[in-house]
Structure formats: C-alpha cells, structure tokens
Amino acid sequence: MIVRAAHLSWSGVPPSGHDTRPWLLRPFWQQIPRRWIKMLALLGLLCFISVCLGLSINQRDQAFANGRKLQDLGNDQAVSHFPPSRQTHQTTHDPTILRVGDEYYLYHVGEHIFIHTAPSMAGPWKRVGTLLDANSVIPKGDRAAPWAPTVITVDGTYYCYYSVSKAGCRDSAIGVATSNSPGPGNWHDHGIVIQTGTGNGSDIHPYTVSNAIDPSTLITPEGDALLTYGSYWNGIFQIPLGKDLLSPRSTTDPDARQLAWEPKSLGMPNRLANTICGDPTGPHAIEGAFISYNAGWYYLWYSHGFCCNLKEDNLPPAGQEYSIRVGRSNSPRGPFTDKSGTDLVKGGGELVYGSNGDTYAPGGQGVLRDGDTDVLYYHYLNKTVGIAFQDALLGFNPLKYVDGWPVAQA
C-alpha cells in the first residue's frame, strides 16, 4: 500500500528540500494540492466581498424605506428622516387642491371626479358632488371615473384637465372641462386635448411614444400655457397649449419637450407587452408630473416607483414603491436637473419625500401656494389600514427651501 501510494504520488526525483514522504503519510494539510488551497482562498475572498456588498445594498434599501436620503448614506451626521405626514383621514387618489377665498377644494379620482371642500387643508373634508354630470365624452378607457384631475383658474374660468385610460395601457387621452365656479353643477366637458395609442393625432411624435395621462397645466408669467403629462414608457413630456387652453398650440408640430424619464426598467416586462399595452422593455416607473414656481426656479415634481395593485405578500423592493422626487430649472421648459446636475431625462431626480412611519408610498403630488408657504400634498397608504387603490389617503407637509431646494417639514 505504501509503495503504491508513493508510485501514485511521485514521478521522478523530488526537488531538494521537498518532503519525500509518500502523500498519504504526510500531515493532512500537506495532502491538499496547492492549487486547491489557492482556489479555496479565492472562494473565501469572493464570499466575503458578496456578504459586504449584500449588507451595503440592504443598508441602502432599508435606509430608503426608513425615509433617508440616498445621497447621505455613509455620513451619519447628515442622514435625516422624513417628517411624518400631516394626515387628514380623507380617502383620495391623485389629488389636486385649490384655495378659493377661505375655502379649500379637493378634486380626485372617483365616479365623474369627486369634489370635496374644507375650511383648511387638515379638514374636515366634505363631499359636495362631482365635477362631471356624466361619463366623459371621450370614447376611451374608464370614462366613468377619469384619472388624475388637475384644476387651475384663469381670468375667472376654472379648467379641469383629466385623463381617461386603461391600467397598463397607453391608449389614453387627456380631456378638459370648464366652469365659472369651482364647485359642482356647472362644468362643460370639451373632450380631447391630446391622445396617444389610437385616434386622431396619435401618430405624431411624441404621442407615438408617450402615455397621455396625469396632466398638469402651468400658466407662465408671460401668459403661455404649458401642458405637462406622461406615465411610464418614455416618461414625462410637455407641449404648449393654444390661447383657448382647450387644445394644443399646434396639432401638426407639438413643439414637445421630454422633461423626465427613468432609463432603467424596474422589473421584467409582461410577456404579452406591446407598444400599446405594456412596455416591451419593462416598467419605467415615472409619472404624475407637476410644475411649481418659487423664487426664480421652476420645480418639476414627479412620482417614482410603483403605486397601485400592490399585494401585502409581494410589495415592491424597498425604495421601489412610490416616492416624490423633484428637479429644477430656470425655464418652465427645462432642462430640469437635480442637485448633482443630472438631467431628469437621464435618470436624475432629488428625493423629497418617501415612505416613513405610517406613511407608505407617497405620490400623485401637487404644490399649493397657501399664503406665503408652499405646501406639498399627495396621497399615501397606511399599511395598517390597507394598500388597495381605494385605501389611499390625503397627506401634506409644508415646504421650506434650503439653497433653493424644497425640504418637507413636519
């Protein structure tokens, strides 16, 4: 046996200084070939790096979930939590709020667009009726419950821009209704402003690559009207409106600008995805744009991540649920950038408000100038109450500006 082992272990004369004992008679650690030792050492190093990387990623995601700023990780003194939401106990989704005199008007998703009023942002909110008297005149999507209304007032006329669509599809349209008062009972539905997917004008860029929902209309100091819209696909776009505020300034040359986009897909595409229902490149989760103005800067707010059809046993990874982000520009037409100077079209965006405490997945936001204070309002979920679409609640936080950047306050 010894001779056989020696024969198997050696060939030729061993170098001077080598252990000449047969392989099986050496100490255990010497029986392991050197290349195995090197491979085991390399494997151990890779495992160590993987564990450290995993801890780092987990720290990042948990920090996001706790409401910390991603850019502040690694600096314990700079890390800060988001303040709790000022809660109203008012169910809402994609709210828009106006103040008319001493009364506040809330418009949000519901059959024919719900209208509530209250003596303050905190409520109590009382439902006073609906904006439309019947289904939208636009023959698309969910005509009975238009999405994401936004209401502005110009020279005594109130304009409500709304969207009709089908979840997950971009065969959508933005419509407009007008009234001489903010309450229910006197709104006229003018129908389509723009549409994507199918229908007249949908074959013109950017309607060929965008989703006509989540409208937000801004009137500049010069009197120009700009319609900002978009959801998923290629992100947020903007076009000028005509003087009547009911149609694009041009139907053949929209003069469109792409303002923001999430270049990375946050998940796998549906296997049946096409250019109309489902993006074949996966979900580029950005939507709900809103533009506000303060002290020489235009701020483009948007919702990033997943908001709807959530399941308690399969929530998005921490940091991929809805959160509120912003970029700024000296021009209402952009380009909009974040603090680092990254263009929002290239994936930039400053995180202003995210999940914290009982507040989960805030988004669908707007900004109301209330006296001399800007107030950020939004819908959010409280997981102890429920995470269904109809469980969304109205929350808000005053804003202060630090070096020209908005910061949510308690």
SS (H, E, C) 227-290: EEECECCCCEEEEEECCCCCCECCCCCCCCEEEECCCCCCCCCCCCCCCCECCCCCCCCEEEEE
Q: Is residue 264 assigned to a domain?
A: yes
**Pair (281, 336) in one structural domain:** yes
Q: Are residues 61 and 91 in the same domain?
A: no
Look at residue 45 in the predicted model and tell me its pLDDT: 52
| Lowest-confidence region among 75-89, 157-171, 256-270, 288-302 | 75-89
Amino acid in position 331: S
Instruction: Give a yes or no: residue 97 inside a domain.
Output: yes
- Does residue 392 surpass a pLDDT of 60? yes
Q: Are 304 and 285 in contact (CB under 8 A)?
A: yes
Helix (H) or strand (E) holding 356: none
Among residues 94, 214, 279, 338, which one is catalytic? 94
Is 302 part of a structural domain of the chain?
Answer: yes
Do residue 209 and residue 319 come from a single domain? yes
Residue 56 predicted with pLDDT over 60: no
**Measured between alpha carbons, how far is 68 from 55 in angstroms, rounded to an integer?**
17
Does residue 71 lie in a domain region?
A: no
Do 248 and 349 fall within a single domain? yes
pLDDT for position 13: 35
Instruction: Assess whether 113 and 165 both reside in one domain.
Output: yes
Annotated active-site residue in 287, 338, 343, 350? 287
Other CB atoms within 10 Å distance of the CB of residue 348: 19
Helix (H, G, I), strand (E, B) or coil at 366: strand
Look at residue 121 and give its three-state secondary structure. Answer: coil
- Known catalytic residue: 262? no
Q: Are 212 and 358 found together in one domain? A: yes
Q: Determine the pLDDT at residue 25.
A: 43
Query: Which residues make Cβ contacts (< 8 Å) with residue 115, sequence separation at least 6?
Result: 105, 106, 107, 127, 128, 129, 130, 131, 182, 183, 184
Residue 44 has pLDDT above 90, yes or no: no
pLDDT tens digit string along 225-263?
A: 999 999 999 999 999 999 999 999 999 999 999 999 999
Tens digits of per-residue pLDDT, 58-103?
A: 433 343 444 433 333 332 223 348 999 999 999 999 999 999 999 9
Residue 73 forms part of a structural domain: no
> Which residue range forms the structural domain that includes residue 229?
87-408
Q: Give the Cα separation of 335 and 258 in Å (integer).
A: 9
Catalytic-residue membership of 287: yes
Asked if residue 375 belongs to a domain, the reply is: yes
Instruction: Report the pLDDT averaged over residues 156-172.
Output: 97
| % of the chain beyond a pLDDT of 70 | 80
**pLDDT at res. 81:** 83
Summarize pLDDT for 175-211 with one digit per residue, the tens: 999 999 999 999 999 999 999 999 999 999 999 999 9
pLDDT at 376 over 60: yes
Peptide bond into 206 cis (omega under 30): yes
